[in-house]
């Protein structure tokens, strides 16, 4: 797995990566900056702006940035890497043992491999980046054929159907057939 270690830093040609990650980071920066500027303006307008309150608003904006910061997902043959601000998680996609879909405020796909690796990713990343999905799906099929993937084929099938549906809708929209 050594070749996939820094895959997100400079993905090799055969690796697929999230094409929308940079845009998501820019949006995160814009949201944090907007919050900070609005808090400063409100405080300044009320006449209560002090250096201590300014520092508090900076800390609040920084906290929002950390919360909203998107993980960078890269997939290559036999591996998937999800890199956040503080942590990098890896999973061997050719040795998956389970795939679960967690529902809640934000839906998550949890991948576990035979070596104890665990990665949570947002299915929207796979939907927005079909090359990521197809690489993951190919390796998941290999895991199923080897008999290691015993739990999660239904979750993968649901994601695949969603991706196929959205791809078809995009094709119809672009061709004017919607």
Per-residue pLDDT, 43: 94
Q: Is residue 35 located within the same domain as residue 107?
A: no
- DSSP, collapsed to helix, strand or coil, labels residue 73 as strand
Does residue 25 contact residue 32 with C-beta atoms inside 8 Å? no
**Size of the chain in residues:** 178
Same domain, residue pair 62 and 76: no
d(CA 123, CA 166): 13
The pLDDT of residue 175 is 87
Give the residue carrying structure tokens 């991948």: 111
CATH number at residue 136: 2.30.29
CA angle 16, 21, 25 (to 5 degrees): 160
- Give the Å distances, CA to CA, from 28 to 3, 34, 108, 138: 30, 10, 19, 32
Higher-confidence residue of 4 and 16: namely 16
Is 43 within the bounds of a domain?
yes
Q: Are residues 77 and 117 in the same domain?
A: yes
Q: From its phi and psi, is residue 70 left (phi > 0), alpha (psi between -120 and 50) or beta? A: beta
* 133 and 107 in a common domain: yes
* Token pair of 134 as six digits: 């197809």
Q: Is the domain of 47 the same as that of 135?
A: no
84: its two tokens = 């956040």
Which pTM was predicted? 0.78
Quick: pLDDT tens for 99-146: 998 887 788 899 999 999 999 999 889 888 888 988 999 999 999 899
155 and 116 part of one domain = yes
Note whether 56 and 80 are same-domain residues: no
Label residue 8 by pLDDT band (50, 70, 90). Answer: low
Residue 2 lies in a domain: no
In a domain? residue 1: no
Residue-number span of the structural domain to which 36 is assigned: 21-68
Asked if the structure places residue 39 within a domain, the reply is yes
Residue 28 lies in a domain: yes
Contact 143, 96 (CB under 8 A): yes
What's the number of domains the chain is made of?
2
Computed over every residue of the chain, the mean pLDDT equals 88
Domain C-terminal end among 49, 68, 87: 68
Same domain as 123, residue 64:
no
Residue that the structure tokens 């997100």 belong to? 8
Q: Which of 37, 68, 99 is the last residue of a domain?
A: 68
For residues 59 and 93, state if they share a domain: no
What span, in angstroms and rounded, lies between the C-alpha atoms of 108 and 12?
26
Identify the H or E element spanning 24.
helix 21-46
């Amino acid at each position: 797995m050594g070749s996939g270690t820094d895959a997100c830093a400079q993905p090799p040609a055969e690796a697929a990566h999230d094409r929308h990650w940079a845009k998501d980071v820019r949006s995160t920066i814009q949201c944090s900056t907007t919050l900070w500027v609005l808090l400063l303006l409100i405080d300044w307008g009320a006449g209560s702006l002090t250096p201590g309150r300014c520092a508090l608003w900076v800390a609040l904006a920084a906290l929002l940035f950390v919360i909203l910061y998107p993980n960078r997902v890269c997939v290559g043959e036999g591996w998937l890497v999800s890199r956040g601000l503080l942590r990098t998680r890896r999973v061997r996609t050719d040795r998956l043992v389970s795939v679960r879909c967690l529902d809640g405020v934000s839906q998550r796909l949890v991948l576990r491999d035979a070596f104890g690796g665990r990665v949570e990713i947002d299915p929207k990343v796979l939907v927005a980046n079909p090359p990521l999905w197809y690489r993951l799906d190919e390796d998941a099929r290999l895991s199923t054929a080897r008999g290691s993937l015993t739990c999660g084929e239904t979750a993968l099938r649901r994601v695949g159907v969603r991706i196929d549906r959205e791809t078809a809708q995009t094709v119809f929209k672009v061709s004017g057939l919607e």
